[in-house]
Structure 1
Amino acid sequence: MKLEEKLECNGSVVGRSQPYLGENHQANGKPKANGKAEVYVKQEANGKCKEPRKSLNLYTWQEIQRHNQDSDQWLVISRKVYNVTAWADRHPGGRRILNHYAGEDATDVFRAMHLEHDVVQLYLKPLLIGELAPEEPSQERNKNSQLVEDFQELRRTLEAMNMFDANFGFFFLHLAQILILEVLAWLIPYHFGNGWTVTIFVAFLLTVSQAQSSFLQHDIGHLSIFKKSKWNHLMHKFVMCHLKGLSVNWWNNRHFQHHVKPNIYPKDPDIDMGPLFLLGDTQPVKYGKKKIKYIDYEKQHLYFYMVGLPLLMPVYFNLQSMQMMYLKKYWVDIACVSSFYIRYFITFSPFYGIFGSFLLIYLVKFLESPWIAYVTQMSHIPMKMSKEENRDWLSTQVLATCNIEQSFFNDWFTGHLNFQIEHHLFPTMPRHNYHKVAPLVRSLCAKHGLKYVNKPMLRAFGDIVRALKKSAALWMDAYYET
């Protein structure tokens, strides 16, 4: 197929040929020149010249879906086809995210994950190779086109309501809360000494500060609080690296993969916790049939309390962060994370010594860990986990997430991640607007028969353990099957 475009420019009518990107492709994903596509240019009456555009080629979904490998990645965004293979390594969110949508329609995930669409379009423009043929639907045929259209209409409505505009004062107050807690944690031993009671209170203040820093860096990593992206980037480095002691690049790479394909094995790194925990319905059966027993998985719901809760932050996340910084040579992150430890030692070594300050850091991370583990896992582990099913954006997010009932305490304790459904559908929306859009999302889910789960917090905590116990039973059945 080919699409002929008439372009306006000074000069006479000329014909210019270029390779036709048709059905046949080489092994490396580059098209073979098996035909000619004519680009026609005609003289405009007023003599002005418009910049010529490359001819666009027409593709079917059958052709596009073949380009879904790590070395051959095509995406469809608003019916335009892009070859992102060569550019994937430069993608700020990491190449794996692009691969997760290779050969698929990425229109809604593109709009959901990017703040400045006009700027991103400048990067997409050189990657454009064609568009969907007129007879092809805008999404793959297995998707409900009416559901997709309704969700896109909802997003346009929310944009018109300015629901994606951040309130600078809201986030400034959260940063002020964190800094006040940090200062109080230093002033208290300065004035009252370093007795056990004082030390416990200092650890409590720092634990609250660390947890709220986790939520604030999460906000900054997703949305634009400042008008200039440079300031957002610097603030994210300050909060994540200097206040938290973790790598921004590590978080971006891991967290954005989770967002684009939540609870999809093996694309979501948050559910790939083997060999320590087996999650969902598929992974336990796979381990069981292969007779894999690194740990006694039938008790995983019990050692979740002894291992998962206390060691998520001080061990698992910290080791992953350090490993990625070292292997990828993220020197800026290394410098900023180092400033976190230097600050702690300068602040607290006069009271506790260097070794005591080191213990204090990891006591705080140990105390923070159950808080973050519960908040991050209660909305996903009990929900549907599966292999890739290429669902639409709304269904993908709603099936993999659930909400926790709203209250002033729940909002503060979770950093508004009790509205996990709204956050996953609209990652760049500031959290202070989640409660405003939740009724609209619930209504859309009801219209299309999607279950919108909203539960009490304590029940959500218990559902984590119940889900682990269920997965353990599946592993046992498969492992001991004769």
Structure 2
Amino acid sequence: MAPQTGSTEKEAQPVSTFPQLFTWEEIRTHNGRGQGREQWLVIDRKVYDVSKFSKRHPGGSRVISHYAGQDATKSLLEDFRELRCAIEKMGLLRPSSSFFFLIFLHLLILDAASWLVVWYFGISLVPFLVGMALFTTAQIQMGWFQHDLGHCSVFSRPKWNRVMQVVVINLLKGLSASWWNHLHNQHHAKPNCFRKDPDLNMHPLLFSLGKTLSVELGKQKKKFMPYNYQHKYFIFLAPLALVPFFQLSIFYFTIKRKKWLDLFLFVSYNIRVCLMYIPLMGFNNFMVYYWLSRYLESTWFIWVSQMNHIPMDIDYDRNEDWVSTQLHATCNVKQSLFNDWFTGHLNFQIEHHLFPTMPRHNYWKAAPLVKALCNKHGIEYKSKPLLTAFLDILHSLKDSGDHWLEAYLHG
């Protein structure tokens, strides 16, 4: 039972003005889908009506709705709260201006170099491929940097992060900041939770992920794809599907949500890139240059973003406490200068999920403290070499495909 007492901001009002007890069955019915569409949250054993606040939530209304009818207490582990306080006192949540300036400078140099190579050397095979490689690298590094900005970990003031994120992802990458934040905030709220984590949107159209969902698909005799071969077609199909998905979904999202500034800015990006490259190489060569770069970038992004998640627990929302949810859905990759740069420091996925606003250059300092906390409470802290992490994606996909096939044939 969850006692309801206390008060909070106007938008998130206590359900009752006097002390009252609610059963979990009562709380779960207020999940935003029943009569009246009320949304209740339990925070520190107090029940709040967040129906109005959800529309104003800075992370988007869906972040709140994913927790409606559940216990949304940030952490049930007192030790984690103490760790959070210790990390704040150590200054690990303060960004380094020089670090992020160098990050921004290096991606601008890569972007300029991609054009200069083609401009100076022409479009024979070698400069064409070198320019494409530089363009791809610049774009993926911009992606990691805008991710930092989206988590408000680059500047001390959130407004500066939001403005700079629009510059980087809209004007330099040709995507939408509003669209990215809408999806990514949901991912952090419920990572690897089917129907709540947008990163699982390709399930089950292309892939069967996790034992529970794979067995369910098999028993329902659903076969959108030959999932028992998904570990073989993932390499080519996943990045190939992501390119049109990103391009089409940003138009759909910005028009539906009336994000006209975002739409104007990323359309401006495409016009600028065309004006820069088409005069140098012609339209047909530019199409090959641009879309092959996007495919390579997508491949890079898919392997890095999924190496920390696909091999971990994928299931329906089990309403675990916040810390356990993050730890069961994430793992790390060993640190090295190359791994840090290649992954945008997302090799420290555990620390990133536990401390989303922590600047990436401090993950390695927090990692031993997080590992000690996990060891104390018997929680597995997974960290593996980069190539092992890549191979584990394929191993996990094969296992899930085998579960699907077994249930499909005999379920």
In structure 2, the residue matched to 1:33 is none
Q: Deviations over 1:112-159 (max 9, x none)?
A: xxxxxxxxxxxxxxxxxxxxxxxxxxxxxxxxx5xx111111101111
Letter in 2 for 1:162: G
Bigger radius of gyration among the two: 1
Q: Deviations over 1:1-54 (max 9, x none)?
A: 99899xxxxxxxxxxxxxx965xxxxxxxxxxxxxxxxxxxxxxxxxxxxxxxx
Larger mean Cα displacement after TM superposition, 245-254 or 438-447: 245-254
Task: Tell me how far apart the structure 2 counterparts of residues 243 and 170 of structure 1 sit (CA, whole Å).
Answer: 20
Q: 8 Å contact 2:153–2:161 — kept in the other structure?
A: yes
Q: 8 Å contact 2:208–2:397 — kept in the other structure?
A: yes
Would you identify which runs of 4 or more consecutive aligned residues in structure 1 move more than 6 Å?
1-5
Task: Tell me how far apart the structure 1 counterparts of residues 296 and 186 of structure 2 sit (CA, whole Å).
Answer: 27
In structure 1, the residue matched to 2:107 is 178
In structure 2, the residue matched to 1:260 is 189
Task: Tell me how far apart the structure 2 counterparts of residues 223 and 82 of structure 1 sit (CA, whole Å).
Answer: 27
Task: Tell me how far apart the structure 2 counterparts of residues 453 and 242 of structure 1 sit (CA, whole Å).
Answer: 37
| Among 347, 360, 364, the residue aligned to 1:435 | 364
Task: Tell me how far apart the structure 1 counterparts of residues 195 and 212 of structure 2 sit (CA, whole Å).
Answer: 11
Q: 8 Å contact 1:280–1:471 — kept in the other structure?
A: yes
**Structure 1 residues 416 and 355, CA gap change in structure 2 (3 angstroms):** same
**Structure 1 residues 224 and 411, CA gap change in structure 2 (3 angstroms):** closer
Matches within 5 A, 1:39-438: 57-60=19-22, 62=24, 63-70=26-33, 71-108=37-74, 148-273=77-202, 274-312=204-242, 314-438=243-367
Q: Which secondary structure state, in structure 2, belongs to the residue aligned with residue 165 of structure 1?
A: coil
Task: Tell me how far apart the structure 2 counterparts of residues 420 and 216 of structure 1 sit (CA, whole Å).
Answer: 15
Task: Tell me how far apart the structure 2 counterparts of residues 390 and 187 of structure 1 sit (CA, whole Å).
Answer: 52
Task: Tell me how far apart the structure 1 counterparts of residues 143 and 186 of structure 2 sit (CA, whole Å).
Answer: 18
Please report how far the alpha carbon of residue 66 of structure 1 lies from its aligned counterpart in structure 2 after TM superposition.
3.7
Task: Tell me how far apart the structure 2 counterparts of residues 399 and 169 of structure 1 sit (CA, whole Å).
Answer: 34
Task: Tell me how far apart the structure 2 counterparts of residues 458 and 224 of structure 1 sit (CA, whole Å).
Answer: 28
In structure 2, the residue matched to 1:463 is 392
Stretches of structure 2 lacking an aligned partner (at least 5 in a row) = 8-13
| Among 352, 377, 381, the residue aligned to 1:448 | 377
Q: 8 Å contact 1:344–1:361 — kept in the other structure?
A: no
Higher relative contact order (CA 8 A, sep 6+): 2
Q: What TM-score, normalized to structure 2?
A: 0.91
In structure 2, the residue matched to 1:114 is none
Please report how far the alpha carbon of residue 407 of structure 1 lies from its aligned counterpart in structure 2 after TM superposition.
0.6
Q: Count residues in correspondence.
A: 398
Q: 8 Å contact 1:97–1:260 — kept in the other structure?
A: yes
**Structure 1 residues 297 and 428, CA gap change in structure 2 (3 angstroms):** same
Stretches of structure 1 lacking an aligned partner (at least 5 in a row) = 6-19, 23-54, 110-144
Please report how far the alpha carbon of residue 78 of structure 1 lies from its aligned counterpart in structure 2 after TM superposition.
4.4
Give the number of the structure whose residues are more often helix, by fraction.
2
Q: 8 Å contact 1:310–1:367 — kept in the other structure?
A: no
Task: Tell me how far apart the structure 2 counterparts of residues 325 and 4 of structure 1 sit (CA, whole Å).
Answer: 39
Q: 8 Å contact 2:215–2:407 — kept in the other structure?
A: yes
Amino-acid identity (%): 46
Q: Which secondary structure state, in structure 1, belongs to the residue aligned with residue 410 of structure 2?
A: coil
Q: What TM-score, normalized to structure 1?
A: 0.78
